[in-house]
Amino acid sequence: MPVLGTSVLGKPILRKIACAAVALLLGTAAYVPSAAEAQDVISSLPRKETLILENPEGTIKNAGWFNIWAINAGGQYTGLQQLAMDTLWYIDPEKGLEGPIDNSLAAEAPKYNADFTEMTVKLRSGIFWSDGVEFTADDVAYTVETQMKNTGMRWGPILSLNVDSVSAPDPQTVVFKLKRPNSRFHALFTVRFNAIWIMPKHVFEKAPDPMRFDFNKPVSLGAYALHSFDPEGKWFIWQRRDDWQRTTLGRFGEPGPKYAVYVDGGPPDKRVIAQMNHNMDVVHDVAPEGMFTLAKQSKSSRGWFKDFPYAHPDPTLPALLFNLQRADFQSKDVRWALALLIDIKAVSMASYRGAATISAIGIPPTGTHPDDYHIPMQDWLKNFELDTGKQKIKPYDPTVGKQIADMLRPSMKEQIPTDQAAIDKSFGMGWWKPNPQAAQELLQKAGFTKRGSNWYTPEGKPFSIRVMVEGESRPVITRAGTMIAQQWRQFGIDAKTELAQGTMLDRRNSGDFDTLISWSVESYGGHPDLAYFLDSWHSQYVAPAGKPQAPRNYMRWSSPELDGIIEKIRGVGFDDPRSIELGRDYVKLAVREMPTIPLMAYNVFVAMDDTYWTGYPTAEDPYANPVPNWGNSRYMMVRLKPRGE
Amino acid sequence: MKTYAIYLAKRLLQFVLVVFIGINLTYVISHATPIDPVEQTISALTSFGNTSPEAIETMRESLRELYGMSGTPLEQYVSFWSRIVVGDFGPSLSAFPTPVSELILRALPWTIGLLVVATVLAWLLGNLLGGLAGYYRKNRLLKAMGLIAMGLHPMPYYVVAFVLLVVFGFLWPVLPISGGSGIGVGRGFSFDFISSVLLHSLLPALSLVVVGLGGWFLGMRALVSNIVTEDYVVYAELGGVDRRRILTSYVMRNALVPQVTGLAMSLGAIFTGAIITEEVFGYPGIGSLLVDAVHAGDYSLVLGITSVSIVAVSLAVLVIDLLYPLLDPRVQVE
């Protein structure tokens, strides 16, 4: 019997297939473009005049919408808020071009009446929208009135809550009459990350419904106007306005890049690849390991710091937040015991691979805050005493930042600074010294008991703590939580990490957690006022258990003493030096009570490639925030120069 | 003819039933998600911006009303079906007020273009080579292909995708690694746009073909290996029938029936997109849209995409069921 399949009949067919495959391969190999040719897909723009930045919002589903005042109606960080929007004031988290505070559309600082129920703003003249219409006080009044009428708009509720009336007595003056005293009302029009952006009255008044108006093509008040965008939401191109002098940025000179392109960078690994191929000039953030790779393999890339720890510390403070409405965490002795079981050096290594800027106090160690809070409070922290019930200890160790630097030096060598001031700036100052003995005494003081190797609550139940973390979408924070849970477990507490993934925000807001790693502290960075986050910590806003908690007091801390501090801050002006003293009172109270365990600044590994552009803001020249989705990152445009100039 | 009509009616009824149950299940599951789109939106608004706790409550109420989340669950369910029967999935919650149908229609051509080509190509190549390998079992080249297919088939897709990404995006950077077309390339029936789309689809398509081909190859080879031992094939050989004819008409055609079913199922499943492919390569298709919608708790969009997918898969199965009797005379309607 013939054996099937041994015939040579198939060979011509196979030969044809093989020949076709070889031809295809040869054809592909013949066209081997360079990385730039293959991946630098901005074929329609001159690369040397184009700055490419990552938009961390990713892909914008409704890319054709630019109505930033309506909720979810298009992207925000597509360059829209950075380059096309403008408002009254900006605060830079760093030093700023001419100081952290910039009077942008406003000609000067706000003027309040004595009881903070009226705010008058003088506006700049000679500022024009990109369609040639002059910006006036009517635009500001229209912005406020339109959003007050539509509480479904982004800033509608907060304006309705505060504003009784707004008027424009002349084109350069706006007067706000407030429903109740508010010494920080102007903060709504002050960019930290964003703010209430000013609407073009002449465009929106023609739209039948401002909430369902796409604002495409957007009329710009910034130095750039929309050039083109991807309908699939992957990229947005902005072009420098010919009349850039007639914008508020024009005071600082001509913006360098003619084109700025904001692109969806994809997953972290792809962003690293894109920058190594010089196809992404400014990467918003990568994993620490990605930054280390860039620093090692790409000569043209650098972070905020030239060397380790590279990252830009955002004025945001990740911390371990207790759910203070749960019985186990209502005693400050328990909270302090848990703090003294944490070895922050191990947490820094696990989370940021050592590239963290630690903070023992509830204020981010960034911008001007160290000068206002961390440094002046060192003596107080060193002398701070904790009564464990059996002894009094001084838990603060001012050398922890230095210890982290020393720990990293053998592997990172000369990249680790030796100067103490540089170490403080890079790695932070001190933190709480691990003290298991004191932790044991504090737990016993709170009625907890140890049987065998396990701890039990005063009710006799195993002391169990779930540390909620976000999961793979925020790996650095997740690793911090895992390390803390491990350290508590080693002490005999039944601690486990809990990956919340996409449910994190819902569970945080509804109080469905024991502890979580998140942030309830966000500050200006470039200004000492703490009301930005602290006002929301007043006990008047604490929701009952089971009800959603409004930002940012997710730990639901309720303290009459804190209320007193907040109320005093409300009574003093934004720039009043007394607010710093009150801020320090908050720090002292928070140290005593430990409602959260502050960990470190939210370090953003922004990576900048100087192949095409130079003059990025850096730790050595901190003239602006480099993180490209922040509104105040616009200031870097005027200092960027094409390489070679 | 009458028998076929009864068969058709039964299959149509099954189709309607499957679609109805499928969409209801999706409705229940998507509404049971612990992710609340209002809370997601509020968190996104407040995580960076200045706000006040008092304003949040007003915002929460406004959003619930705007998103159609006010009313009892029954009212919401009735409203959902009254809209969906006319093909209206309502507005997307995370891209408000853009209609869900608009978002799906924008993403669908990308997914269909990529996946239809990749699926059909993998199917054709896999079945052709698998058929040849099953028939010409001693051919060294085909044996080698069999080994490669066996090696590739069990590999997790994302590993293959990342390997391709690193090889062609970084080590030998000859292909674009992200997006559906080049930055700044204008839309339209132009050489620039079409070539850019083709270039951008190469890596994702290659990854799908590489992984998909192995399965079809192995399946077809196994089927053909069985069929070649059937008596009728042996008799055909002995009878001196041309071997190429034996392969195409006697062996491959018989082996194709289950493969065609598989192809129909694969094509139907295209409507959920190749989620990992689109995520890895940043491809602007329906898979990426679905992932975004799930993360944002945008159940309008999730429902829209899954409903389209349920209808598409059911329709594909229906069409195959109706075509079976025509494809293979051995299959009877009853």
Q: ipTM of this predicted complex?
A: 0.82
Query: What average pLDDT does the structure give for chain A?
Result: 92
When computed from its CA atoms, the radius of gyration of chain A, rounded to whole angstroms, is: 28
User: In terms of Cα–Cα distance, which of A483, A466, A477, A474 is closest to A501?
Assistant: A474
Kindly determine whether residue B41 and residue A72, on different chains, have CB atoms separated by under 8 Å: yes
Q: Roughly what angle, to the nearest 10 degrees, separates helices A578-593 and A332-340?
A: 80
- Of A187-201, A453-467, B174-188, the poorest mean pLDDT is in B174-188
What is the per-residue pLDDT for B272? 63
Report yes or no: B37 and B15 within 8 Å, Cβ to Cβ.
no
SS3 at position A356? coil
How distant, in Å, are the alpha carbons of A445, B13, B321 from that of B331?
81, 21, 10
Residue A449 is assigned to a structural domain of this protein: yes
- Kindly indicate the confidence band of residue A266, based on its pLDDT and cuts at 50, 70 and 90: confident
For residues A274 and A268, the answer to whether their CB atoms sit within 8 Å is: no
Q: Which residue has the higher pLDDT, B63 or A545?
A: A545
Residue A619 touches partner B, C-beta closer than 8 Å: no
Q: What is the pLDDT of residue A29?
A: 45
Contacting A residues, span 534-563, partner chain B, CB-CB under 8 Å: 535-536, 541, 548, 550-553
Question: Nearest residue of A to residue B221 by CA position?
Answer: A5
Distance of alpha carbon A213 from the chain centroid: 29
Under 8 Å CB pairs connecting chains A and B tally to: 242
What integer is the mean pLDDT of A42-48?
82
3-state secondary structure A621-640: CCCCCCCCCCHHHHHHHHCC
> Residue A233: closest CA among chain B residues belongs to which residue?
B284
Bigger pLDDT: A172 or A287? A172
pLDDT at A22 over 60: no
Out of A4, A44, A187, whose CB is closest to B50?
A187
Interface of A with B in 213-232 (CB under 8 A): 228, 230-232
In DSSP notation, B170-198 reads: IIS--S--SSSS-TTPPPSSSHHHHHHHH
Give yes or no for a contact between B331 and B324, defined as CB atoms under 8 angstroms apart. Answer: yes
Cβ distance A509 to B54 less than 8 Å, yes or no, reads no
User: B282, A264: Cβ pair inside 8 Å?
Assistant: yes
Report residue A286's pLDDT band, with 50, 70 and 90 as the boundaries: very high
Query: Given an 8 Å threshold on Cβ–Cβ distance, is A550 in contact with B175?
Result: no
Q: Which residues of A touch B162 (CB under 8 A)?
A: 269
Over residues A104-129, the pLDDT tens digits come to: 999 999 999 999 999 999 999 999 99
Count CB atoms within 10 A of the CB of residue B8: 14
Contact between chains at A157 and B170 (C-beta distance less than 8 A): no
Distances (CA, A) of A556 to A255, A322, A596, A599: 45, 9, 10, 19
- Length of chain B measured in residues: 334
pLDDT-based confidence at A397, cuts 50/70/90?
very high
Q: Which of B45, B46, B52 to mutate to test the interface with A (most CBs of A within 10 A)?
A: B52
CA angle, corner B133, sides to B132 and B135, nearest 5? Answer: 65
Least confident of A46-50, A399-403, A464-468, B255-259: B255-259
The better pLDDT of the pair A45, A397 is held by A397
Confidence check: pLDDT of A335 > 60 = yes
User: Looking at CA atoms only, how far is residue A263 from chain B in angstroms?
Assistant: 8
Pick the CATH number of B109-283 from 1.10.3720.10, 3.40.50.300, 2.40.50.100, 3.40.50.720: 1.10.3720.10
Tell me the average pLDDT across A600-620: 95
pLDDT tier at A10, thresholds 50, 70, 90: very low
Does pLDDT of A5 surpass 50? Answer: no
Write down the pTM of the prediction. 0.88
In sequence order, which residues have a C-beta less than 8 Å from that of residue A418 and are 6 or more positions away? A405
Q: Which residues of A touch B174 (CB under 8 A)?
A: 28, 31-33, 35, 38
Q: Which of A62, A160, A510 sits opposite B95 (nearest CB)?
A: A62
**Please, what sign has the CA dihedral across residues B246, B252, B253, B255?**
positive
CB contact under 8 A, B129 and A237: no
Distance between B36 CA and the closest CA of chain A, angstroms:
7
Domains identified in chain A, total number:
1
Is B101 part of the contact surface with chain A (CB cutoff 8 Å)? no
| Closest chain A residue to B169, measured at CA | A273
Q: Which of A79, A155, A62 is nearest to A629 (CA)?
A: A79
pLDDT in tens, chain B (334 residues): 677 788 888 889 999 999 999 999 988 888 887 778 888 888 877 776 767 888 888 888 888 887 877 778 888 888 888 888 888 888 898 888 899 999 999 999 999 899 888 888 999 999 999 989 888 888 888 888 888 888 888 888 888 888 998 898 888 888 888 888 888 888 888 888 898 999 999 999 988 888 888 889 988 999 988 888 888 888 988 888 888 888 888 888 888 888 888 887 777 667 666 788 888 888 999 988 998 888 888 888 999 999 988 888 888 888 888 877 776 666 665 5
The tokens for B290 are 């679905």
| 3-class SS of residue B98 | coil
Burial class (CB in 10 A: 0-12, 13-18, 19+), A24: exposed
Closest of A492, A473, A493, A469 to residue A482, by C-alpha: A469
Q: List CB contacts (< 8 A) between A38 and chain B.
A: 173-176
Question: What type of residue sits at position A63?
Answer: A
Set of chain A residues whose Cβ sits within 8 Å of the Cβ of B183:
41-42, 45, 230, 234-235, 237, 261, 263
Q: Which of B139, B240, B221, B210 is nearest to A12 (CA)?
A: B139
Element (H, E) at A487: helix A475-490
**Residue B243 β-bridge partners:** none
Q: How far is A454 from chain B (nearest CA, A)?
A: 33
**Cβ neighbours of B110 in A, within 8 Å:** 232
Q: What is the CATH number of the domain that holds A430?
A: 3.10.105.10
Q: Kindly report, residue by residue over A566-575, the tens digit of the pLDDT.
A: 999 999 999 9
Residues on chain B touching A507 (C-beta within 8 angstroms): 34
pLDDT per residue as tens digits for the range A71-109: 888 999 999 999 999 999 999 999 999 999 999 999 999
Q: Is A277 in CB contact (< 8 Å) with chain B?
A: yes
Min Cα separation B302/chain A (Å) = 13
Element (H, E) at A220: none
Over 80: is that where the pLDDT of A40 sits?
no
| Tokens 């000679």 found at | A126
User: Distance of CA B89 to CAs A212, A335, B84, B86, Å?
Assistant: 18, 49, 6, 9
Q: Does A7 score more than 70 pLDDT?
A: no
Distance CA B12, CA B282 (A): 38
**In angstroms, what separates the C-alpha of A407 from chain B's closest C-alpha?**
33
Mean of pLDDT values over A242-256: 97
pLDDT at A440: 97
* Residues contacting residue B47 through CB under 8 Å, at least 6 positions apart: A551
- The angle that helices B140-152 and B100-135 make with each other, rounded to 10 degrees, is 140
Q: Distance from first CA to last CA of chain B, Å, rounded?
A: 12
Q: How far is B18 from chain A (nearest CA, A)?
A: 30
Is A49 touching B (CB cutoff 8 A)?
no
CA distance A9 to A304: 67
> Hey, which residues 485-504 in chain A have their CB within 8 Å of chain B?
502-503
Query: What single-letter DSSP state applies at residue A90?
Result: E
**How distant is the Cα of A505 from the closest Cα of chain B, in angstroms?**
7
Quick one: CA torsion of B252, B255, B259, B260, rounded to 10 degrees? 70
Alpha-carbon torsion, ordered A377, A378, A382, A388, to 10 deg: 50
Listing DSSP states for A429-459 in one string gives S-EEPP-HHHHHHHHHHTT-EEETTEEE-TT
**Cβ pair A539, A553 in contact under 8 A:** no
Count other C-beta atoms under 10 Å from residue A217's C-beta: 16
**Tokens, residue A526:** 């470039």
A8 close contact with B: CB closer than 8 A: no
Within a 10 A sphere around the Cβ of A440, how many other Cβ atoms? 20
Q: Which of A280, A52, A283, A40 is nearest to B182 (CA)?
A: A40
Total residue count of chain A as it appears in this document: 645
Q: Which residue of B has its CA nearest to A518?
A: B47
Torsion of CA B310, B316, B318, B323, to 10 degrees: 180
Which has more pLDDT, A415 or A535? A535
| Closest-CA residue to A492 (of A276, A291, A337, A304) | A337
A-contacting residues in B 274-333 (Cβ below 8 Å): 279-280, 282, 284, 288-289, 292, 294-295, 297
Tell me the torsion sign for CA atoms A369, A370, A374, A377: negative
List the single residue in A with minimal CA-CA distance to B285: A232
Which domain does A430 fall in, by range?
313-603
